[in-house]
Structure 1
Amino acid sequence: MSTGEKQAEQDVNATYANDAEAADNHVDAPQEEQVEAASGELEQLRAQSEENYQRFLRVQADFDNFRRRARAEKEDFAKYASLKLIEQLLPIVDNFDRALSSSKETKDFDSLAKGIDMTFRQLDQVLTQEGLKPIESVGQPFNPEIHQAVMQVETDEYEEGIVVEELQKGYMLKEKVIRPAMVKVSV
């Protein structure tokens, strides 16, 4: 090999070495940048994850507080649900008390009967306002949903299956039967 060839070979080798070193540097730089970018993105995602977890804990605590408040309100409502009705009944109780006290002193039983009748009408008015209504039975066809038959009687006055007599009044609260009427039914 001549000196010129040796020199050319060295130049080529040097060029390859420089190119390889430059390529290594060129590859390392983007990899380091990618690692730094990924590391920064990872930290950002960790911070976002921690923020979401804290938000989750706050929402869970708020929900637990809401559930406790709702339970307490429900218990209070159940405890005092009849308050409005009781307030309406108190004047009636007062009237019964006055009627009884007055009749003990005066022995006027006609006035007592009038007072009790007026007080009963007042009580009936309050119960009607609350949605209580009596079940009409006599002369109606027997209905097992609203009547309780305790006796059967033979009669020429009514057809078979008609309520002849009401032994105990039945009541409905709005659309619900709270006590069926106790009746005698014709056969």
Structure 2
Amino acid sequence: MSLNPAHADDLVGNAANGENKIAMCIGCHGIVGYQSSFPEVYKVPMISRQGSRYIVNALNAYKSGERKHPTMRSVAKGLTDQDMADIAAYYESHGSATTVPDQPGAPSAQVNELLTKGACNSCHGANFSKPLDPSFPKIAGQHRDYLFVALKSYKSEGNSTWGRGNAIMGGVAKQFTNAELRELANYIGKQPGELQVVPQAKFR
């Protein structure tokens, strides 16, 4: 049985238990260079060292349909709130700890204008790796093609199998052309970050 969101926020994840619940995750997120082909070809996101609260929020968004992706929704619908908390705790601690600079590399004037317009660091932090709230994702160093597809998904409307319904990110993404979103994704994806793809034992 699923808990209501207020109670779900109080759940404490157990990383050791989470390691026994990731069979449906490692087939995509545990293979270096693995690519999705829906709705276009792009590398699946790195989730090792991602914040646990964000992972739980993302899984709940797939489960509720706020994020539309058939495969991820199928996975998320099979998870309880405790499963999500345990999996998220596992991935938050999975991989090697890295030191990330407090500030990202200097952007071009064009990219700086786009970052300012989108106020990207107001949620994701000045270095895009220390979000101002744990429910926001670390995005520095994330795969650039994934970032671009994710940003575009917030602009998608009326598609039953693809798109994301987050009002804040929708408002941000819809300010930009796809070419501008690609510029943002390319810059943020080149920044040093904590996110990693760590091959699971069965794929090494």
Question: Which TM-score band (shorter chain)?
Answer: under 0.3
The answer to which structure has the higher strand fraction is 1
**Structure with the larger RCO, 1 or 2 (CA within 8 Å, 6+ apart):** 2
- The structure having more radius of gyration, on CA atoms, is 1
- TM-score normalised by the chain length of structure 2: 0.18
- TM-score normalised by the chain length of structure 1: 0.19
